[in-house]
Amino acid sequence: MRILMVGHYPPHKGGVANHANNLVKELRKRHEVYVLTYGPITPREFEKEVVYQVKVPSVFGLRGILFALLAFFKIVKLHKKLNFELIHAHYIGTTSYAGVLAKKNLKTPLITTAHGSDLDFMSNLPLGGYFVRESISKSDMTITVSHYLKKKALHLGARKIKVIPNGIRRLKPKKAVKRYITFIGVLTPYKDPKTFIRLAEYFPSEKFLIVGDGPLIKELKSKAPSNVEFLGYREDIENVLAESKMLIVPSLREGFGLVIVEANSLGVPVVGRAVGGIKELIREGKNGYLFKDFDELLEKVKLLLDNKKALKMGRIGRRISERYTWEKITEKVEGVYREVLGERHDNSNKHARCR
């Protein structure tokens, strides 16, 4: 198959770029895959011939809309050169809307993947909601990374949906002593790191670690007790997790929660808030615990400080995480591609017979 991926991609950072990077890496073993992403960027040396960009002016509030329009023209131009069979757009909104316009012009199948905040946040904005609904209703298939997002996509008008979770790369950490209760994430209100800081006050003899950066960093540092260490942004999450007794995920909303699977893959149990996609990843009492309020969080952390219990949950978590390898996830995505292209081929034959 010849596939065009549209959306954030390395050297961009973040969950969507990371997802696209790993998916493309696996797909290229069997298919021709091209990428169209936000510019200006300098593509990595080994893929300069297959990564294209739209240089979007940095106009506050208009960057997404400008990308949608400019990317549409670029996709039409690239189709003449590359003759790709389908478009796969990541993150539903203005990014995927470029695919909607291109599909209308080229009659090329469009697949969109919802990653979380697109349906959780973007869909609630007046203009953003328009792009989300148009993209979902015009997609030949919408992929969501959780059943939680599937429900949202259906409500927004999706016609066909497949749930395919995020994958994880194989992590190879350095050997380390487990000594931290850890938080990993962007320091924004919806990730609720303030609850993590409050938690540290109740366990003064335990070491707490915050990994990440964001707008709340100064406030958190000013309120944190002495047993909280701030590590900033880190690429080597595997080494951080290798030093962790448990991972705390207090997010107020979460479309998936990739860090939960990453933690489980290294035998680290997780305590997460019972919301969104988190509820689908944590099996109560198996690979971690869910909590609904702060008192329940305290109770679950106390339970996991029992080393035998934590080790048992860690072993179960490792087994559960094996279903999230990128090899397995990519096979499911390929199945969607074949289904969409097969339907397109069948429909073409029907129209031909009618004539």
DSSP secondary structure, 110-163, as one string: EEEEE-SHHHHTGGGSHHHHHHHHHHHHH-SEEEESSHHHHHHHHHTT-SSEEE
- The closest alpha carbon to 19, from 168, 185, 122, belongs to 168
> Are the C-beta atoms of 125 and 119 separated by less than 8 Å?
no
Q: Per residue in 253-305, pLDDT tens? A: 999 999 999 999 999 999 999 999 999 999 999 999 999 999 999 999 999 99
Question: Cis bond leading into 11, ω under 30°?
Answer: yes
The pTM for the full model equals: 0.89
Q: How confident is the model at residue 348 (pLDDT cuts 50, 70, 90)?
A: low
CA distance 210 to 208: 7
Q: Is residue 333 part of a domain?
A: no
- Looking at the fold, whether 155 and 192 belong to one and the same domain comes out as no
130 with 30, same domain: the answer is yes
Length of the chain: 355
Distance CA 166, CA 236 (A): 19
Same domain, 99 and 185: no
Amino acid, res. 14: G
Bridge-partner residues for 141, per DSSP? 111
Residue 139 has pLDDT above 50, yes or no: yes
Q: What is the per-residue pLDDT for 14? A: 84
DSSP string, 299-330: HHHHHHTSHHHHHHHHHHHHHHHGGGBHHHHH
Specify the number of domains making up the chain: 2
Q: Are residues 199 and 348 in the same domain?
A: no
DSSP letter string, 176-201? ----EEEEES--SGGG-HHHHHHHHH
* Section 27-43 average pLDDT: 96
Surface-to-core class of residue 93, CB atoms within 10 Å of its CB (0-12 exposed, 13-18 middle, 19+ buried): buried
CB contact set of 245 (below 8 Å; sequence gap of 6+): 178, 179, 180, 181, 182, 268, 304, 305, 310
Whether residues 150 and 199 share a domain: the answer is: no
Residues 6+ apart with CB under 8 A from 48: none
Query: Which CATH number do you get for residue 308?
Result: 3.40.50.2000
Domain that holds residue 70: 2-167+342-354
Q: Is the peptide bond before 126 cis (omega within 30 degrees of 0)?
A: no
Q: What is the pLDDT of residue 352?
A: 46
Same domain, 76 and 49: yes
Task: Please name the helix (run of DSSP H) or strand (run of DSSP E) that holds residue 15, with its range, or none.
Answer: helix 15-27
pLDDT band at 12 (very low <50, low <70, confident <90, very high): very high
pLDDT for the residue 354: 52
Distance CA 312, CA 289 (A): 13
Query: pLDDT tens for residues 84-93?
Result: 999 999 999 9
Arithmetic mean of pLDDT, 97-117 = 96
Residue 97 falls inside a structural domain:
yes
- For residue 328, report the phi and psi dihedrals to the nearest 5 degrees: -70, -40
Least confident of 43-52, 112-121, 346-355: 346-355
Please state the rounded mean pLDDT for residues 204-215: 97
DSSP 174: P
In this structure, are 18 and 159 located in the same domain? yes
- Whether residue 273 lies inside any domain: the answer is yes
